[in-house]
Amino acid sequence: MIYLGGIFATADVDKALYWLRRAADSGSGMTALILGMLHERGLKGVDQNICKALHWYDLGKQLGMPEGARHSERLQPNIDENCPTIPINADAMRD
C-alpha cells in the first residue's frame, strides 16, 4: 500500500500491484478484495478491468472474505464470454 499512496516511498503502481498480488497469492483475502476494487474501479492508476476484478473478488471469497461473493455477484451481469476464467486454488495458498 505504501507504493500506491506514495507514503514513505515514491508512488509506483507496478510495485504496488506486485506486492499486493504476492500477498493475495499467499492467502490474504483482504488483499484480494483490494485488488478487485482497484481493477473494478480503475483506481490509483490501475487499469480498469472487470475480468481481473472478478478474479480477485472470487479469490477473496475463497480465502474467507464473504464480501468477495457479494462483489462477484454484483459484477456478474457485466461479464461476457470474452472474460477468461483464471483457475484459483485457494487451499494451496493456505499451506
- Tell me: the pLDDT tens digits for 20-48? 999 999 999 999 999 999 999 998 788 89
pLDDT for the residue 1: 47
Q: Which residue has the higher pLDDT, 3 or 26?
A: 26
The model's pTM: 0.77
Check pLDDT > 60 for residue 7: no
CA 37 to chain centre: 7
Q: How far apart are CA 84 and CA 78, in angstroms?
A: 13
Q: What mean pLDDT, rounded, does the chain reach?
A: 81
Where do the structural domains in the chain lie, given as residue ranges? 2-94
Q: How far apart are CA 84 and CA 69, in angstroms?
A: 18
Percentage above 90 pLDDT, the chain: 44
